[in-house]
Amino acid sequence: MKTSRATEAEGVPWVRPAVAALEGYVPGEQPAGTARVVKLNTNENPYPPSPAVRTAIEAEIERLRLYPPPDAAHLRHCAGKLWDVDPAGVVVGNGSDELLVLLLRTFVEPGATVAYPAPTYSLYSTLIEVQGAVVHEVAFPPDFDLPRGLFDVPAALLLVCNPNAPSGTRIDTAALGELARSRRDAVVVIDEAYADFADGDALSLVGSAPNVVVLRTLSKSYSLAGLRVGFALTTPQLARELHKVRDSYNLDRLAQVGAMAALEDQATFRRNRECVRATRARLRAALLTRGYDVPPSETNCVLARSPGRSLLGLMEKLRLEGVLVRWFVALPDALRITVGTDQEIDELLAALDRVGPA
């Protein structure tokens, strides 16, 4: 919600100016109650998580009396093995959102600059402002390739969401490696929230470049957005600094064992990933047929564009049809549509055909 900042802070003279000036992040709508909606607005996975998660969490309940392992050693080893990263370079977080906060606290002084290609994940600017740092958005070129401006903007930290949302597009790993090598003055964070849906990733840069941090999350590809588990993959040296600023118990017991169970069940993970990728191809083809521009997507969402028109009205019409999709001020000619089940996508397309000229 856009609110008047000055009036909101009135009567609260104790608040930090950086916080008073904030608008606050607005997450995608999470409908309450039992109303049946086709929810394609927050890039959740439409399939249930591994059944092993339930078993692991149930067995852990009797140990809730005890604090969780502060070093999450088992989970970090499990993640290190899966992604071929030294477990000493793995930091776990309460979602990758928390890891973004820890990265800013660790590497960005108030007043310093954080740069990233835009449009992208809109939480970045909020978190940077909370840290009292300066947001520097570098516009993506029309094809959403790496903006050359990132090579020379002054910045303490560079943030690249790759594959990117809402565009769905991916920047080549070689270009990111080149960026990391030429920007030894900055920490280069590659937010790979969607990498499991993509045709490539930047894991090879972890450890080979001393200033690279790759972020992963279980929220999208492992169907565990509600469990809140993310990973920072980096060098043991950077990880040691990140550990200093995190809460000792930032991942609760249920999250630690649930995450491990999910990572160990690669069969369920792969099956769900392949379903999402297949439906994504079908959704893109159907949107192209209907006259939308749709960049090739390597995420679990697609961007449907209708250049020169605002699709805000279409988003609202779809909502009345019980179909939630996302519209962004920064990309008014587009709708971001999460890849749901085949049935959900059929319902979306039927609703589009009822209400929407392309």
Ligand X SMILES: *Cc1c(COP(=O)(O)O)cnc(C)c1O
> Among residues 193 and 352, whose Cβ is nearest to ligand X?
193
- Locate 210 and state its tokens: 């001393």
Q: In angstroms, give the least distance from the CB of 138 to ligand X.
A: 16
| Least distance CB 106 / ligand X (angstroms) | 17
Which CB sits closer to ligand X, 250 or 306?
A: 250
Here the tokens at position 73 are 């050693």
301 beta partners: 338
For residue 270, report the phi and psi dihedrals to the nearest 5 degrees: -65, -40
- Paired tokens of 139: 């516009």
Residue 61 or 249: which CB sits closer to ligand X?
A: 249
Residue whose CB is less far from ligand X, 82 or 225: 225
Residues that bind ligand X (CB under 6 A): 43, 95-97, 121, 161, 165, 191, 193, 217, 219-220, 225, 230
b/e sequence 6-21, b meaning 16+ C-beta within 10 Å:
eeebeeeeeeeeeeee
CB nearer to ligand X: pick between 161 and 206: 161
Q: What span, in angstroms and rounded, lies between the C-alpha atoms of 213 and 192? A: 10
Choice between 191 and 196, CB closer to ligand X: 191
Shortest separation between residue 116's beta carbon and ligand X, angstroms: 11
What span, in angstroms and rounded, lies between the C-alpha atoms of 331 and 310? 9
Quote the CA–CA distance of 18 and 77 in Å, as a whole number.
38
Smallest distance from the beta carbon of 344 to ligand X, in angstroms? 19
Cβ 94 to ligand X shortest distance, Å: 8
Give CA–CA dist 334/348, Å, rounded: 15
Residue closer to ligand X by CB (options 118, 351) is: 118
Q: Which two tokens stand for residue 260?
A: 């491990």
CB of 18 to ligand X, least distance (A): 22
Contact, 25 vs 122, CB < 8 A? yes
Task: Give me the least distance between CB of 333 and ligand X, in Å please.
Answer: 21
Interaxial angle between packed helices 73-83 and 253-264, expressed in degrees from 0 to 180 and rounded to the nearest 10: 30
Neighbours of 24 (CB within 10 A): 13
